[in-house]
Amino acid sequence: MIGIVDYGAGNLRSVLKAFEFIGLPAQVLAAPAEMKGASRIVVPGVGAFGAAVEKLDASGFRAPLTDWVAAGRPLLGICLGMQLFLDSSEETPGPRGLGIIPGGNRKFTAGKVPQIGWNRVASSGDPLFAGLSAAPWFYFVHSYYAAPDDPAMVVATADYGITFPAALRSGSAVGVQFHPEKSGEAGLALLKNWGCS
Amino acid sequence: MNAIRIIPCLDVDEGRVVKGVKFTGIRDAGDPVELAERYNEGGADEITFLDIGATYKSREIMRGIVEAVSRRVFVPLTVGGGIRTVEDMQAILRSGADKVSLCSAALNDPALLTEGARRFGNQCIVLSIDAKRHGDTWHAYKSGGRTDSGRDAVAWAIEAVERGAGEILLNSIDADGTQAGYDLELLRRVSAAVPVPVIASGGAGKLEHFTAAVREGKADALLLASLLHDGVMTIRQIKEYLRNEEVMVRC
């Protein structure tokens, strides 16, 4: 079963509906104790970094999530959920992220911010993108982008004034900046790749 | 670089698509769920529902429609019409909408934009402006284009974005239904005035109008209704045309 973490910040219903549509059993997890029944975990997220960190802590999900990754179990972060994998964000200086991926999140400085719309993603052959077209389109909504210390963790990029990470991977944790649950066929294929890997 | 989005808009009244849609092989031309699926298969980058009934019953039915569509269609869904309070926004977002579109309600109570953005994020809030030319300026109209709010449309766009609108849906009352092309000057003025995406609506009749909206009007997206519903053109035809014109679209 795929568990979708409900820490109070995110449009998790669309993620749930997407997994249901592709036939993968998924469930919203209201408390860390419910992680026991899950084989894979998704951290969704919409909103501000600082508020999300507070909610992660208040809901008690922080340590269970870092332990989950430390045990090599599969974790997927979507949008802000991925940004939470890093240590910090320019959006809210101070609050600490999960620290699963060393680095921070930076603000776009050119173009219309937030980026709202469909953008092409170039991947370096990560299995997440297996079977997708050469430069698939995904739907993005964000003002900040991940800046991991180790560029080798960037497994896909997109261009928006600058080239920024569209997907990250570190061990059993993967994160995508775009919304696969709102990216049509390409998004569903990516969720299937992750959910069935 | 983002693709220019093509967004079909379905006008819904108490659960039925008004004006109907002339697709071949469609079972029920008035069923919003089936039509949304068809447009999704046809390459829509986003789908907008406008609840023109705007009664309590119509809003309730709309929530059921959005709930059903969001189980089968995985592109962004926007809902407008009859949303007057933060609670209305929350209810429709919970049902599966990704964005809400506000027009009259925001003109009557601009704080609705501020509060909506604070609660749900700027990316959820689309301000819809029905603009009509008054000499060298444009006024924002409410009540489906019937009442002049007296507000300057460009100034209203700027204020709305400062308050938290994440996108502007700009409809020209003068151009709407003429099929003679967009009000490019209006589009250009608003696009230059705000740092958020502008969705052009009203006036398109030929393929060339779309390139003009993008190139001259600096539109980020195109909202289309009767041209698609009447089968005059398909989303794929529009995208193919734009691609040949070297306008980036999602294939």
Chain B neighbours among A 10-39 (CB < 8 Å)? 11, 13-14, 17-18, 20-21
Higher local confidence (pLDDT), A7 or B200: B200
Contact B70 A17 (CB under 8 A): yes
Domains belonging to chain B, first-starting first, are 5-244 (3.20.20.70)
pLDDT attached to residue B26: 64
Burial of B194 (0-12, 13-18, 19+ CB in 10 A): buried
Torsion of CA A27, A32, A36, A37, to 10 degrees: -10
Long-range contacts of A147-154 (CB under 8 A, 24+ apart): A147/A86, A147/A103, A147/A104, A147/A105, A147/A106, A148/A86, A148/A101, A148/A102, A148/A103, A149/A102, A149/A103, A150/A102, A150/A103, A153/A101, A154/A124
pLDDT attached to residue B91: 93
CA distance B203 to B173: 9
Catalytic (active site) residue A142: no
CB A134 within 8 A of CB A120: no
Residue B144 Cα, gap to closest chain A Cα (Å):
27
Catalytic (active site) residue A79: yes
pLDDT attached to residue A47: 78
pLDDT band at B23 (very low <50, low <70, confident <90, very high): low
As a whole-number percent, the residues of chain A with pLDDT over 70 amount to 99
Mutation target vs A (from B5, B74, B168; most A CBs, 10 A cutoff): B74
pLDDT attached to residue B27: 66
pLDDT attached to residue B24: 63
Query: At A68, which CATH number?
Result: 3.40.50.880
Reference B201, options B2, B60, B5; nearest CA is B5
Burial of B27 (0-12, 13-18, 19+ CB in 10 A): exposed
Domain around A7: 2-196
As a whole-number percent, the residues of chain B with pLDDT over 90 amount to 83
Q: E strands within B147-212? A: 147-152, 167-172, 198-201
pLDDT attached to residue A38: 97
Q: Which residues of B touch A141 (CB under 8 A)?
A: 123
Q: Give the residue ranges of chain A where pLDDT is below 70.
A: 9-10
Catalytic residue set of B:
11, 130
Domain total of chain A: 1
Q: pLDDT tens across B112-139, in order? A: 999 999 888 888 999 999 999 999 999 9
Place of tokens 């982008």: A145
Contact A116 B197 (CB under 8 A): yes
Task: Report pTM.
Answer: 0.94
pLDDT attached to residue B216: 98
Considering CB atoms only, which of B2, B96, B122 is closest to A118? B2
CB B36 within 8 A of CB B7: no
Q: Which residues of B touch A46 (CB under 8 A)?
A: 121, 123
Considering CB atoms only, which of B71, B76, B197 is closest to A112? B197
Q: Which residues of A touch B196 (CB under 8 A)?
A: 112, 114, 116
| Mean pLDDT computed over B33-57 | 93
Which residues partner with A164 through β-bridges? A158
Q: Which residues of B touch A191 (CB under 8 A)?
A: none
Whether the pLDDT of residue B66 is over 90: the answer is yes
pLDDT attached to residue A191: 98
| Mean pLDDT computed over B153-172 | 97
Angle at which helices B153-163 and B184-193 cross, to 10°: 30
Give me the catalytic one of A20, A54, A142, A181.
Answer: A181
Whether the pLDDT of residue B55 is over 90: the answer is no
Does the CA dihedral A127-A130-A133-A139 come out positive or negative?
negative
CB B106 within 8 A of CB B151: no
